[in-house]
Structure 1
Amino acid sequence: MIELAVLDIAGTTVEEHGAVYLALEEAVRAAGGDPSTTGIQRWMGAGKREAITALLAEPAGGPPAPDMVETAFADFRARLSAAYAARPPAPLPGVPETIATLRAAGVQVALTTGFDREVTTALLAAVGWDRGFLDAVVCVDDVAAGRPAPYMIFHAMEATGVRDVGRVLTAGDTVRDLEAGTNAGARIVAGVLTGSQDAAVLGAVRHTHLLRGVADLPALLSLS
C-alpha cells in the first residue's frame, strides 16, 4: 500500500502559467547571460539558484561570481513575485480533490519544490494551501542538493514518518522529478503532462507511469 505521495508544485499541482521559467530566463539575461531554450529546459525542476549558476556559465563554461548569482537570484524572485501578482497561480483541475481523497484514504501528501522556503510559503498561501491542507512541504533549501538528487523525497519521508520507499509514490512534470523519484527508489514514479515537458520527453527517462495529471492518481491507486 502507498503511504506517502510526494508531488511537485509548479506545473504538477499548481498552474502558474510558466511564470517561473520566464522569470528565470529574464533574470539570467538581465545578469548578462544568454540562456538557450534547451538550457532552460535542462534545468526545469532544479533548484533555482543552481539553475541560475549553470545558465550564467553558458556558453563559456566558466563559473559566475557568487555575487552575480545572488543578484540574479534576487532579480528572479522579484520577477516571479510580480508575475504571480499580475496573474495569480491556482490549483490545477482536480488537484485539491485528489489531495483530499488521498489523505482520506490514509495516504499522506507532501509537496516538494525547487523554490526556496520564502517563495514557496507565499505561493501556497496564494492558493489556500498554507494551513493544514498538506502533511509536509519540502523546499530545495531544506536539503543538501535538489533534483535529481532524492533528498527532498527522503526528507518528506522523514517528516511524515514513512520508512519504506516501497510505499512511496512520486509525481512530477519534469525529467528531474522522474529522476529524483527513481533515485529514491520510489515504488511509483509518475510523470504528469500538465507542465512544459511532453510525453516524448518524460517517456525517455525511467518512470512507472505517465498520467494526464495528478487528478488521475486516485484511479491509479484504486481509490475512486
Structure 2
Amino acid sequence: MKQSYSGPVKAIILDWAGTTVDHGSLAPVRVLQQVFAGRGVPISEEEARRDMGVLKIDHIRKILFGANVSERWRKAVGHDPIEADVESLFANFVPLQLECLVKYSTVIDGVAAAVARVRKRGIKIGSTTGYTRPMLDMILRPAAEQGYRPDCAITPDDVGAGRPHPWMIYANAIRLQVEPLEAIVKVGDTPVDIEEGLRAGVWTIGVARTGNMIGLSVEDFAVLTPAQQASRLENARAALSAAGAHEVIDAVADLEPALDAIQARIRKGERP
C-alpha cells in the first residue's frame, strides 16, 4: 500500500480571472453578453456566469444549448442551435475578448504580496485558466508589470482540453518538476476549478469574494450593506465547499492560513 505523503506543500496552481486578476471576473461575462445580444438573444449575467471557468468555446456551448437560451435562440434565429452556431459565436467572441482583456487585467489587491510570501516558503507558483493561449498572453505582461508573475502558465490549448479535465494541472506539475500530486494545491474561484483539482488528485482552495461566485467589482461590492455582503459571502463559501473545496478563503490575500491548514492535514496523513 502506498505510504501517505507527509512532506511540505511544494506548489500552488492559481486560476486567473476572479482569482488573481479581474476582481469579480467581469471580462468574460461582459463579452459573452455582448456576443449573444448581437444575435438577438440577450442572456442574463447569471446565465453567463453559470459555467464560468471552462474553456471559452465550451462555455459558449453550455450557454447556447441550455434549455432557456436554446429556446430564445430558436425564436430569434429561426432554428435550433447547432455546433456551427457555437463556432460562429466563438469566432465573434475571440476578438472582442482580446480587446477587453487589458482593461480587466488589474491584479487583485494582495495577490502579488501573498505570492511573494508563499515563494519565500519554497513553494512554486503555477496557473491554469479557461482562456485560450492568445487571451492569456494578453494578461501575462500587464500582470507581471503589477508584480504577479507565476512560474508556469498553462492554457487548454497547451494540453488539448480544459476544465474539468486535470491535464493543465498535470502539465504544471511536469513543468514545475513537482511531485507527488499530494504536494500541490489548486486555488480558484469556481466550482469547476475545484473539480479540476479533485480530478487531478491535488488539494483545493476556493476563493469566494473576488471571483465569479459573487461577480462584483471592488467598488460594487463595497457599496453593498454589511448584511448584503455577509449573505453573498456565505452563499459563495457554501457553493465552493459543496463543490468539494478543502478550504475556502475570501481572497488570495488570505492564502497562507489555508495553506497552513492543508499542511497540518498532510502531516496527519490525510490525502486530497
- The alignment's TM-score, normalised by the length of structure 1, stands at 0.87
Q: If each structure's strand is expressed as a fraction of its own residues, which one has the higher value?
A: 1
Mark the runs of 5 or more structure 2 residues left unpaired by the alignment. Answer: 1-7, 72-79, 214-235, 261-272
Query: C-alpha distance in 2, partners of 1:158/1:146?
Result: 17
Rounded to whole Å, the distance in 2 between the matches of 1:130 and 1:211 is: 22
Distance in 2, matches of 1:65 and 1:102, equals 44
The CA distance in 2 between the partners of 1:160 and 1:75, in whole Å, is: 35
In structure 2, the CA distance between the partners of 1:45 and 1:129, relative to structure 1 (3 Å rule), is farther
Q: Pick the aligned partner of 2:121 from 105, 117, 137.
A: 105
| Partner in structure 2 of residue 145 of structure 1 | 161
Higher alpha-carbon Rg: 2
2:76 equivalent to 1:57: no
Instruction: Tell me by how many angstroms 1:95 deviates.
Output: 0.6
Partner deviation per Cα, 1:8-34 (whole Å, 9 max, x = no partner): 000001125512112123213324555
Higher helix residue share? 2
Assess, with a 3 A threshold, how the Cα gap between structure 1 residues 121 and 77 changes in structure 2: closer, same or farther: same
Count of aligned pairs: 220
Tell me, in whole angstroms, the C-alpha distance in 1 between the residues paired with 2:42 and 2:52.
Answer: 17
> 1:133-162: CA deviations, max 9, x gaps?
321101121223211111111111111111
Residue 215 (structure 1) aligns with: 253
Cα deviation for residue 218 of structure 1 reads 2.3
Q: Which residue of 2 aligns with 1:13?
A: 20
For residue 78 of structure 1, what is the aligned residue in structure 2?
Answer: 95
- Structure 1 residues 119, 129: closer, same or farther in 2, change over 3 A? farther
AA at the equivalent of 1:189: T
Query: Residue in 2 aligned with 1:25?
Result: 33
* Cα distance between partner residues in 1 of 2:118 and 2:137: 22
Identity of aligned residues (%): 30
DSSP-derived class of the 2:186 partner: strand
Quick check: 1:117 aligned with 2:159?
no
Q: 1:191 aligns with which of 206, 229, 232?
A: 206
RMSD: 2.5
Distance in 2 between residues matched to 1:46 and 1:93, nearest whole Å = 24
In the alignment, is residue 43 of structure 1 matched against residue 51 of structure 2? yes
Give the whole-Å Cα distance in 1 for the aligned partners of 2:10 and 2:51. Answer: 30
The aligned residue for residue 4 of structure 1 is 11
What amino acid sits opposite 1:215 in the alignment?
A
Residue identity opposite 2:258 in structure 1: L
Alpha-carbon distance in 2 for matches of 1:64, 1:34: 18
Query: Residue type matched to 2:178 in 1?
Result: V
Alignment partner, residue 171 of structure 2: 155
Unaligned runs of 5+ in 1: none
Q: C-alpha displacement at 1:80, in angstroms?
A: 2.4
Tell me the secondary structure at the aligned position of residue 244 of structure 2. Answer: coil
Contact 1:121 1:130 (C-alpha < 8 Å) held by counterparts: no
Code of the residue aligned with 1:153 in structure 2: it is: I
Distance 1:219 1:132 in 2: 20
Bigger Cα displacement from structure 2, 213-222 vs 91-100: 213-222
Q: Distance in 1 between matches of 2:87 and 2:125?
A: 32
